Amino acid sequence: MLEIEDLACLKGDRLLFRGLALRMMPGELLRVAGPNGVGKTSLLRLVTGLALAEAGVVRWHGLGIDRDREAFHRELLYLGHAPALHDLLTPLENLRFACAAAGDEVDEEICMQALVRIGLANQLDLPARVLSQGQRRRVGLARLFLSSQRRLWVLDEPFTALDVAAVSDLAQTLSDHCAAGGMVMLTTHQDAPFAVPPRVLDVGAYAC
């Protein structure tokens, strides 16, 4: 269970939002909405613990996330704006490193299957610099198939640069994760075809 209490975010010397409160239960899919610059990405970074809140707390299973950072990070998957790919490595090398860096030991064969499933079967041996934006995005998203044991998925604009088929496949994967008791928190400006319409949190309502 994820709880946010009275959260405030300061960017530079501007207060983006304050008093933000939220409670997410297992199985929930939450869409963080609001116009550009309202603090959606900042909120996601606060939830992951990458950024420090000006005020308020984020709790995971009743414990502040900075109290037991490593236990929280074991249950968290965050995919940000930047795809975390190195141009000189192949998609397979990038994916294997991403899993190992996060602390998961994943077999090369399983990584390969994930990349094939997300539609990169022909790009496995190419350096990432020759991939298109959508393909780069997919390499990062392939981690979703390998991270079902991580309960909380925090995704920043996961649908950007993806084609229609990939968007609906991704939406299905997210719905499945929630159905299995996981939680998904995402930002998007697109209407994704979710089986159950997601709960919406409008950050604009807490803007200063």
Partner 1 sequence: MLSTFFAVLRRDLLLAWRSRSDVLVTLAFFVIVVCLFPFGVGAEPNQLRAIAPGVLWVAALLACLLSLHRLFAQDYADGTLEQLLLSSEPAVLWVLAKVLAFWLTTGLPVVAVAPGLALLLDLEQGALPVLALSLALGTPILALLGAVGAALTLGLRGGGMLLALLILPLFVPVLIFGAGAVEAEASGTGALAHLLLLGGGLAGALALAPLACAAALRISTD
The residue ranges that bind partner 1 (CB under 8 A) are: 48-52, 70-71, 73-74, 76, 78, 80-86, 88-89, 93, 96-98, 100-103, 105
Identify the CA nearest to 58 among candidates 69, 74, 71, 47: 47
CB 7 within 8 A of CB 55: yes
Residue 155 or 171 with smaller CB distance to partner 1: 155
Residue closer to partner 1 (CB basis): 57 or 89: 89
User: At its nearest, how many Å lie between partner 1 and the CB of residue 40?
Assistant: 16
Cβ nearer to partner 1, comparing 139 with 178: 139
The strand pair at 55-60 and 2-11 is best described as antiparallel
Shortest separation between residue 73's beta carbon and partner 1, angstroms: 5
Q: Measured from the CB atom, is 76 or 167 closer to partner 1?
A: 76
- What does the buried/exposed string (b/e) look like for 157-196 if buried means 16 or more CB atoms within 10 Å of the residue's CB? bbbeebeeebbebbbebbbebbeeebbbbbbbeeebebee
User: What are the Cα distances from residue 200, in Å, to 120, 165, 185, 205?
Assistant: 32, 24, 10, 12
C-beta closer to partner 1: residue 83 or 198: 83
Least distance to partner 1, CB of residue 102, Å: 5
Across 65-204, where does the E strand assignment appear?
76-79, 152-156, 183-187, 199-202
**Alpha-carbon span 105 to 34, nearest angstrom:** 37
Question: Cβ of residue 58: shortest distance to partner 1, in angstroms?
Answer: 14
* Shortest separation between residue 176's beta carbon and partner 1, angstroms: 23
